[in-house]
Each structure stands twice: as structure tokens, then as C-alpha cells.
Structure 1
Amino acid sequence: MTSLPQHPSEGSERLRPTVAVARAARVLAAAGIDAPRVEAELLAVHVLGVPRGRLALADGLTPDQLDRYDALVARRADREPLQHLTGSAAFRHLELAVGPGVFVPRPETELLAGWGVDQARAGSPLVVDLCSGSGAIALAVAQEAPAARVVAVERSPAALARLRRAAADRAAAGDRPVEVVAADVTDPGLLSDLEGRVDVLLCNPPYVPRAVEVPPEVAAHDPDEAVFGGADGLDVIRPVLARAARLLRPGGVLGVEHDDTHGAAVPALLVADGRYEAVEEHRDLAGRPRFATARRR
């Protein structure tokens, strides 16, 4: 357990947020956190219940709040995911409830979701999200392309529970309801009733090659089955591409996220399949290969 520097007894006095954040940022930086100041601020606004833009103007932390804040900072320094500490993850225009047992959606996946939203805005398409996890992609599409029918597929019981709650919450908030299906995406009979009818198919599968060393936040907290995709990282992607070709209508489109080492491998699989055209590789904001797209012949 990482120890925070002891703060003096303050009685009933409050500690200014800027002072608490500066101290916490030093602790997080020493622990190897990439953006220590940002994360220290996000934990502070979580404890204080204020928008980040008003943190400097917020009332100081009471002794009880400071104790809670210090405890969260210590847990983050021990590499517990920030999103587990706050209970939520931002994804496009959504705040998704996250926690142990469910893969935390990553900012780079917003690029695939955005591509999917663009494809889903024409007409009233049928959109399928495979390996849905917390439902980030499916819920984003349902919110931003309300004319689309969205089906989310997941097999993990823990993820399904959160996905169903999130879908119900977003429907109650006025978004298009997402249909949740409990199934294994490698099942050759997956969604047999939708064969040849899907307009847009999206997938963020487990794709990290088994030998790759992942950060402590991933290794200790993300479900193994949601991270690793076999020896080469393609054990789930291969059957997904094959099944997608059966589910998509002619002219339907596919987008699949992959490891940054798969920039050539996944497009090659799509070309070799023979049922896809317009195969394209997409890079993330750091210039790394991130997802591939194609159109069903």
C-alpha cells in the first residue's frame, strides 16, 4: 500500500483544493501515473461533487473529505483504475457506470464508436455491437443515431449485468432502447435470425497478444477474457470477421478495433476472406493502427 504524506491536524478547518491536489499529484507522479495532476483533480472533484472547471473556486475539503481523498489517492497510487475509484467512465457524450469485473472503456475506442455513429445516421439501420462489455459503443450509437435499431452482444455475466442496467438507464433518459443479447461472439450460429440484414457491425474484441505485458491497471483489474485474444491476439477477431460476413447485408459495413500490432494483419484477414471490399485501416490520435473497416460485397 502506498502511503501519503501525513497532513497536519486541521480541526474544523478546510484545506484548499489546490493544496490537496498539488500534494496528491506528487504522490501519483512518484507512483508512475502518466497524468498525475489531471487524475488528482478528477479525484478531488469526485470527492467535492463539483465540476472540474470550478475546482479552484470550490470550498476547501473538510477533514472527513480530506481523509476520503487521501484514501482514494493512495489506492490510485497502488494502480487501481481511476474509473473504479470514481465509479464512472466518460465515453463520448455518456458517463458509464464501471467497476470490478467489467472492462473499462478506453478513449481510443471513441474513434470506432464515432465511425459507427456516422454510418448509422443514414436511414433506420440495424446496428450490431459485438463484445459489447459495458455497452459503450452500443449506447453511444443509440444516443447519437436515434433512428437506428441497436443490438448489443456480450457473454460475461458481470458485464451483462452492467450492460443491462446501463441500457435501462439510458432508455429511461430518453435514448433509443438497446437490445441486449447474451451470447458468445465466436458461436457460428450467432444471431442467426439477423443473417443478411445487418447494416453496421461494430466490435471491440479482446485482442492483446498473450505475451504482451500490460499496465498494472489492466493486469490486476480488467477481466482477462476481455483483454487477451490468444497467442497472436486474433483468436476472437478471426471468427468475428467470418460471422460478420454472414450477418451483414450486401453493402453493409464492418468496423473492428484491434491491437496496434495488427495494422497489417486484420486488413489482410478481411481481404483474404473474399467477401469484403473497401478495406481500410484507421489510426488513433497518436498515429497508431487502431481499427479496420470494410464493406460487404
Structure 2
Amino acid sequence: MTLAHEHPSEGTDRPRLAPALAKGTDRLAAAGIESPRVDAELLAAHVLGIGRGRLLLVDAVRGAELRRFEELIEQRARRIPLQHLLGTAAFRHLDLAVGEGVFVPRPETELLAGWGIEHTAPGATVVDLCSGTGALALTVADEAEPGLVVAVERSAEASVYLRRNAAAFPRVRVVQADVTAPDLLDELVGQVDVLLCNPPYVPEGTPVPPEVADHDPAEAVFGGADGLSVIRPVIGRAAELLRPGGVVGIEHDDVHGSAVPDLLRADGRFTDVAAHRDLAGRPRFATARRA
């Protein structure tokens, strides 16, 4: 199929895409956006309804498309998250619905997802705590062969996105609950094979980018004074939910490279405690096996 934009003989009086992209890139760079060209191209592709890779085939655009693109550039320059403007966030092989009220999944969490997939045997029972968009739960359901995935999220606003994203995955069960509750998932005590958690873990008072401070829910970002207020009870509950030999993986702040493994060891019910770094070499998640 050929796009109307691709006909060199059409739209010669229409605005050209290349100068618009250059101008948009400059605007985003001036606003402090880390990847201005990439963001500008993704917004342009979104407006045109094509993949980013096809932008090279587009010469001219319609006036209405240019105006919409410029509007989105201005919104991004005001540090509205790119994913909110696109309506989705890419996570491994999935495009997850996102918006105000739910934490936007980060690329570094894909490492924990990959670890979870590697440890999910066919028919396994998997639990994802602090599920948010469902990034971890749905990735495991998509790329492994679990028998059941339980995605737990406390926030009513975030659960709207979680249920929407999980609708295409019949093996995923959504539970709206507080992951620190002592009776969480009582029916699964001693039966869980893999437990994953990307909790709020940033220590309160830590400076964060405007996209996080103004748009990510604070309860999904900050984890108390030391960033461990959710991780502590999660570790205790994980020990109760996991079967002997079951495994747990918990993402954490880069200041917690020793603290979270130490908490897992101190619990006394885990073996094979390991610390994992992200692609930038920063401490990112900790794993352990139920004794």
C-alpha cells in the first residue's frame, strides 16, 4: 500500500515534513528533552498513522497534520510524557495503554521481565505485585506458558489500564488489593512458582524529572523515607506465597544494591540471593529462591 504522502507529484504546495521535524527537534532540545529527535519522529509517525521507519518515505504533509504535530511538540516541550501523547508505552513485544493515573513502564524493567520469563515453566503460577499497566504480568503471559498469572494493583485509576491491557490474556487474573496486606492472596499461599514486583521504591525527597513528578502517580514512585516501605512487607509475603523452590524478583532503586539483597537474606527463608545490574551498570533488581 502506498501512502498519499509518498506520491512525489501530489501535495507540492503542502508543508514539508523534514523542516517540521527539524523545528520540532530544536524545540524539544531547548526544553531539555533527552531524545528530542526520536520523540519528534515518534510524534510525527503517530500523527501520520505510520511506523517511524516509514517517515523517510514522506515528503509533504497536510496542513491539519502539521498543526497537530506542532501541538504535540508543544505538549511534549511542557514535559507531558511522550507515552501519554501516544497513548501507549512499548514494553518488550507489547504496546500497553497508559495515561494519567498509571505509572509508565520503563525500559530497564524489561530485564526483570526477561528473568521472570526464563524462570516460568509451562503451567506455572506467577504473581505480579504492584502491577500498574500489567507490564510484567502480561509479558510473562505473552512470552512464556504460565497456567495462571495474577496481577495485583491497589490503585483504582491504574487498575483501569491494567484491566484494559489484560483483556487479551485469558490466563491473567487482575486483583485490586494492597500488596502490603497480611492476607494478600491467601488462597495461593505456598503455591506460587514465580513472584515479580516492581514496587514504588524511590526514597522520598529524591529529585525526579518533571514527567515523573507531574504525571506518574506519587504512590507508584516513592517508597517512604528510605524507599523500602513497600519492599519490606513484599519480601515477607513472598516467602509465604512461594512454594519451596519458587523464585522472587524485585526491582529497586539504584541506591538499594545492597539493601534489598540484605533484606532477602535477613528474612531467613530464601537461598540463592543475587543482585542484578541494568545495562548501564546500575543496581536494578534482586532475586532469590524460597528455601
Do they fold alike, i.e. is TM over 0.5?
A: yes
Q: Could you say what secondary structure the match of 1:47 adopts?
A: helix
Alpha-carbon distance, 1:285 to partner: 0.6
Q: Partners of 1:66 and 1:209 in 2: how far apart? A: 42
Paired residue for 2:79?
Answer: 79
Letter in 2 for 1:115: W
Match of 2:131 in 1: 132
Give the root-mean-square deviation of aligned CA atoms.
Answer: 1.2
Question: Residue 56 of structure 2 aligns with which residue?
Answer: 56
SS class of match (1:50): coil
Counterpart check, 1:198 vs 2:192 = yes
Letter in 2 for 1:242: G
Three-state SS of the structure 1 residue aligned to 2:107 is coil
Q: Which amino acid aligns with 2:161?
A: R
The offset of 1:12, in angstroms, is: 8.5
The correspondence for 2:181, drawn from 187, 197, 207, is: 187
Show the counterpart of 2:32: 32
Are 2:201 and 1:207 equivalent residues in the alignment?
yes
Structure 1 counterpart SS, 2:265: helix
Deviates more, 1:53-62 or 1:20-29: 53-62
CA contact (8 A) 1:12 1:62 kept: no
Q: What does 1:133-282 correspond to in 2, within 5 Å? A: 133-168=132-167, 170-171=168-169, 176-282=170-276
Q: SS at 1:261's partner residue? A: helix
Q: Which amino acid aligns with 1:162?
A: Y
Separation (CA, whole Å) in 2 of partners of 1:18 and 1:111: 35
SS at match of 2:90: strand
Deviations 1:108-164 (A, max 9, x none): 1111011101111x2311000000001111010001113431010001001111111
Counterpart in the other structure of 2:4 = none
Aligned match of 2:106:
106
- Structure 1 vs Structure 2: percent identity of aligned residues? 66
What's the secondary structure of 1:76's corresponding residue?
A: helix
Distance 1:31 1:125 in 2: 47
Distance 2:176 2:33 in 1: 36
* 8 Å CA contact 2:124, 2:145 repeated in 1: no
Aligned to 2:22: 22
Q: How many residues align?
A: 281
**In the alignment, what sits opposite 2:3?**
none
Q: Distance in 2 between matches of 1:12 and 1:70?
A: 20
Deviation at 1:59, TM superposition (A): 4.8
Distance 2:61 2:219 in 1: 40
* Equivalent position amino acid for 1:146 in 2: E
Q: Which amino acid aligns with 2:57?
A: L
Q: Deviations over 1:3-34 (max 9, x none)?
A: xxxxxxxx983223222111111111111111
Distance in 2, matches of 1:116 and 1:288, equals 19
Cα 1:105/1:99, change in 2 over 3 Å: same
Separation of aligned partners in 2, 1:114 and 1:212? 28
State the AA in 1 paired with 2:285: F
Summarize deviations over 1:10-65 as a string: whole Å, max 9, x none: x9832232221111111111111111111110101000111111101025221111
- Give 2:244's aligned amino acid: P
Classify the secondary structure of the residue corresponding to 1:295. Answer: strand
Verify the 8 A CA contact 1:258 1:291 in the aligned structure 2.
yes
Could you report, residue by residue, the CA deviation over 1:47-90 in whole angstroms, capped at 9, with x for unpaired residues? 01111111010252211111110010001011000000010000
